[in-house]
Amino acid sequence: MAITISVNGKQHSVDAAPDTPLLYALRNDLELNGAKFGCGLAQCGACTVIIEGKAVRSCATPLSSVAGKAITTIEGLGTSAKPHALQQAFVAEQAAQCGYCANGMIMTAKVLLDKNPRPTEAQIRKALAANLCRCGTHNRIVRAIQRAAKGAV
Amino acid sequence: MSANTKFAAGRREFLQQSGAIMVGFSLAPAAFGQQPAPKPARLPGSLNANRMLDNWLRINANGTVTVSTGKAELGQGILTALAQIAADELDVAYERIEMISADTSRSPNEGQTAGSQSVEQSGTAIHYAAAEARDILLQLAAARLGVAADKLVVADGTVTAGSAKTTYWELAQNVNLKREASARVKPRPPARHQVIGKSIQRRDIPGKVTGGIAYVQDMRLPGMVFGRVVRPPSRRAQLESCDEAAVRNMPGVVAVVRDGNFLAVAAGREEQAIKAAHALRTSAKWTESPDLPPQGMALYEHLQKLPSRDSVVNYKVGAPAGGGQVATLEATYTRPYQCHGSIGPSCAVAQMKDDKLTVWTHSQGVYPLRLHLSRGLRLPAASITAIHVEGSGCYGHNGADDVACDAALVARATNGRPVKLQWMREDEFGWEPYGSAMVMKLKARLDERGQIVDWQHDVWSHPHSTRPGSPTGSNLLAAWHIANPLSMGPPVNGPQPAGAADRNAVPLYEFPSQRIVLHYLPETPLRTSALRTLGAYANVFALESFIDELAAAAGADPVEFRLRHMKDPRARAVIEAAAQKAGWKPKQKGDGSRGRGFAFAKYKNLAAYVAVIAEVEVDRRTGKVQVMKAVAAVDAGLIINPDGVSNQIEGGIIQSTSWTLKEQVKFDRQRVLTQSWANYPILTFPEVPAVEVVLLNHPDERSLGVGEGSQGPTAAAVSNAIANATGKRLRDLPFTRERVKAALA
């Protein structure tokens, strides 16, 4: 059964069961690598995408529930040739080791900055409290978000 | 061209376009397990086992240099650091260096990427190989230009003598690097480093933050299907029955594999594979029997009763330095089983075609993996190619190797179609090899001047390395589960001075008498293996906590007490630098909830020197410990990339804070109960300390491994800070709210 989803401003028809997690449609049908499988339980944040202004865990979001809604993935933010301020700031601060969690950090930060363009450090930490990083690059991630917020990329 | 074919073609295209005179990299004899020529001269670093220059680098006519390493990028930035070394030694711009790594078809065999040894082993080899290649190029240039080699000037691969000039790229056609390295050309002195010592940005980060193809999880090959595995519910479980037929009829299912206790599926779509695996799991009937150890403090009594291989790993008897002994202290410290907890569960892609197997893997050792795959699958090693592709951070031996075997077993059932198999979260938590639970019993005597005169450290531990590579057996999980199983190779404890279970159990301090005993526990129902630092995390936790306990008994300041017993000047410098940076005030007491603690270690007693000061705040009501700030001082010898070193030290401090405050594997007598982040909480953003790192650069000293330097000192610094804050000494990891609350009650 084909379901039409709108990702990064384009319509895509995905032939999959309605309960298919959005994550697999993004990664396997649309060949978008940004959102990652981390837990499948909405616990870690690696799969985060933005749906109508909210940070959403795509591993626990059925395809049928997002038909017709505007979905943005990290690929929709910018490219390595033309990166978004947050992506640029993550490079400038070298805010990664393995980088597997980076997608979720950047997408969650995007939603935060859209609502609160000048967050305090504590607000940034709170906004990312449910995004897990295992390499211990948290402080670099916080600095990158502060850098992007200041527009000082 | 779609993203998937780009990935597959990338390496082929590179080989076609590079215009190099060498068709491929020659493989050292050792790579195929043959004996090298009798007693060749010892060469530096990994050159010794991979002696051909063209095994390491290639000068390309298109203006690039290809550097090949047997070490793998694990998110630690190693490929960037190695490229920096090659650029400086060759006198070419950093941007010209292309790195390829860890591929059994074309890279040097450097064993495992582990133990903070990549800069020391591969970096040293590249220093010498590149310096010698530069010398060969200059001799060619001298002949072409008709001038003496010592009159030539090189800048970014352009060689000039007055108005005459040539380039490495013009000479590429004539360079013959198919020769054994001599190591007679010395690496350049630090004063001539241009790229080494600079915080060059990592090559891999732009792709990782823009959705590029960065990980094995992102690979797509034509015709690829998705695999999932169904593990037994417990260690000894035996499969009685399962409904394979029903699962085969599910949508998209391509294969159901049942081989002894090994169960797996493959399907055209990933979510179909997950559903099929779920159905297969639900239909499976197993016979289970309990064999797991007791939980809680009973675990540590249990460990001390297990059959052990005991060895005195270090022993020294000297005359007491001063007067009579006035105090004897004893303490027991414990550490539970802990997880690697990679954010991305382990993944591999495998393809079986014409009896040849190719696996794309984030294993830390592609050659040892190939050896054990060969045994487990009963396939000649020559028919297997193992290619490293980055995965999520592993922090040691996680599921990377096991999942490669799982994918290979499924790939045998898919008629040549490649299989991408990723573990689910519960597979990773339930079956990754854990960091061993450990018991450390320490005993020491002080004389009347407050000098330690006698020191004893007994450690009980399971193995810390059961990676693939053992000479017999197979250390791949599925190889134990299939109908024709192999057993695990006999575990061996790594020898001192680096040690493994006993890593850093031997103090660097100078004591007149000491005795260090390892009680090695080879048998364990819960598989254990290398978790970042091996035994050093727990041994340093115990040793450096005990030093503080002795300092308190001697009425001494912890920093002064350490310096009192330390002769190594570099260790003293690091201890003093950390104290200065943190504004350490001697004998400052905590106020009941806030306090600070100090700890130091030289990782493995032969790698980086690291001192850490932690500041904590303890909520006496809830028992919650917040590490507010950590300050570290580091001596890593010659630093290749300062920001890379800082990133490793910061990350190590934060990861160790998480281990120390929160982490332990949970199980009952039959099953592992840790299945998700809900059962295995780790440190979160609001809980992460601020971290400051001071680097003491020693450009004239050799580079020292740094990736595991800060974990041990961090645990002890936190423990010492809690004692400083509250007056209560915690000796059992982790320092959970419940434990802290109970201790303060």
Q: What is the pLDDT of residues B677-716, one digit of tens each?
A: 999 999 999 999 999 999 999 999 999 999 999 999 999 9
* Terminal CA-CA length for chain B: 66
User: Residue B75: which of A41, A80, A135 has the nearest Cβ?
Assistant: A135
State the pLDDT at residue A151.
85
Inter-chain touch B653–A126, beta carbons under 8 Å = no
- Per-residue pLDDT, B318: 87
What residues are paired with B241 via a beta bridge? B285
DSSP states along B128-185:
HHHHHHHHHHHHHHHHHHTS-GGG-EEETTEEEETTEEEEHHHHGGG----SB----S
pLDDT tops 60 at residue B311: yes
pLDDT at B12 over 50: no
Residue B543 confidence (pLDDT) above 80: yes
Contact A46/B343, CB-based, under 8 Å?
yes
The helices-and-strands tally (H runs, E runs) of chain B is: 19, 24
Nearest to B343 among A44, A77, A139 (CB): A44
Please tell me whether residue B188 adopts helix, strand or coil conformation.
coil
A25, A33, A24: which is closest to A74 by C-alpha? A33
Note the pLDDT of residue B4: 38
Region B77-96: what's the mean pLDDT?
97
pLDDT surpassing 70 at residue B496: yes
CB contact under 8 A, B204 and A99: yes
Question: Is residue B689 a contact partner of residue A136, using CB atoms and an 8 Å limit?
Answer: no
B chain contacts of residue A124, beta-carbon cutoff 8 Å: 685
Specify the pLDDT at position B320.
56
Tokens of B526: 């819960």
Question: What percent of chain B has a predicted confidence (pLDDT) above 70?
Answer: 94
Q: Is the pLDDT of residue A153 over 80?
A: no
Angle of the A138-150 helix axis to the A85-92 helix axis, nearest 10 = 130
Note the pLDDT of residue B321. Answer: 54
pLDDT in the model for residue B68: 96
Averaged confidence pLDDT in chain B: 94
Task: Give B442's strand partners.
Answer: B331, B457
Q: How far apart are CA B88 and CA B82, in angstroms?
A: 10
- pLDDT at residue B16 in the model: 35
Write down the pLDDT at residue B589: 94
Neighbours of B62 (CB within 10 A): 11
Q: Residue B325: its pLDDT value, please? A: 67
Question: pTM of the predicted model, to two decimals?
Answer: 0.94
Alpha-carbon span B726 to B633, nearest angstrom: 26
Q: Is the pLDDT of residue B7 over 50?
A: no
pLDDT tens string B224-247 = 999 999 999 999 999 999 999 999
User: What is the ipTM metric for this complex?
Assistant: 0.98
Give me the residues of A, 53-72, that contact B with CB < 8 A: none
pLDDT over 70 at B66, yes or no: yes
Q: What is the pLDDT of residues A28-43, one digit of tens each?
A: 999 999 999 999 999 9
Give A112→chain B minimum CA distance, Å: 15
Domain boundaries, chain A: 2-77, 85-150
B711-726 vs B737-744: helix axis angle to the nearest 10?
30
- Output the pLDDT for position B32: 42
Report residue B231: phi and psi, to 5°: -80, 155
Q: What is the DSSP string of B443-475?
A: EEEEETTS-EEEEEEEEEE--S---TT-SSS--
Stronger pLDDT, A153 or B296, i.e. the higher one: B296
Where on the phi/psi map is residue B200: left (φ > 0), alpha (ψ -120 to 50), or beta?
beta
Q: Which pLDDT score, from 0 to 100, does residue B323 have?
A: 59
Instruction: Render the burial of B111-135: b for 16+ CB within 10 Å, e for the rest.
Output: bbbbbbbbbbbbbbbbbbbbbbbbe
- Chain B residue whose CA is closest to A19: B271
SS (H, E, C) B21-81: CCCCCCCCHHHHCCCCCCCCCCCCHHHHCCCEHHHCEEECCCCCEEEEECCCCCCCCHHHH
Please answer whether residues B126 and B157 qualify as being in contact, where contact means their C-beta atoms are separated by less than 8 angstroms.
no
**CATH domain A85-150 topology:** DNA polymerase; domain 1 (1.10.150)
On whether the CB atoms of residues B554 and B450 are closer than 8 A, the answer is yes
User: Sheet containing B57-59: which strands, arranged edge to edge?
Assistant: B57-59, B65-69, B97-101
The residue ranking higher by pLDDT, B31 or A140, is A140
Amino acid at A2: A
Within 88-117 of A, beta carbons closer than 8 Å to B belong to 90-91, 94-103, 106
Distance, CA of B341 to CA of B430 (rounded, Å): 10
* A71: β partners: A7, A51
User: Using the beta-carbon criterion (under 8 Å), do B677 and A39 form an inter-chain contact?
Assistant: yes
pLDDT digits (tens, 9 = 90+) for B429-454: 999 999 999 999 999 999 999 999 99
- One fold for A2-77 and A85-150: no
Specify whether the CB–CB gap between A107 and A46 falls below 8 A. Answer: no
State which CATH number among 3.30.450.20, 1.10.1060.10, 3.10.20.30, 3.30.9.10 fits the domain covering A2-77. Answer: 3.10.20.30
Put simply, the answer to whether A100 touches B393 (Cβ < 8 Å) is: yes
B17 vs A137, residue with greater confidence: A137
Secondary structure of B245-267 in HEC code, one letter for each residue: HHHHCCCCEEEEEEECCEEEEEE
Residue ranges and CATH numbers for the domains of chain B are 3-202 (3.30.365.10), 216-288+340-431 (3.30.365.10), 298-338+434-465+500-744 (3.30.365.10)
**A87 in B contact zone (CB under 8 Å):** yes
Residue B39 pLDDT grade (very low, low, confident, very high; cuts 50, 70, 90): confident
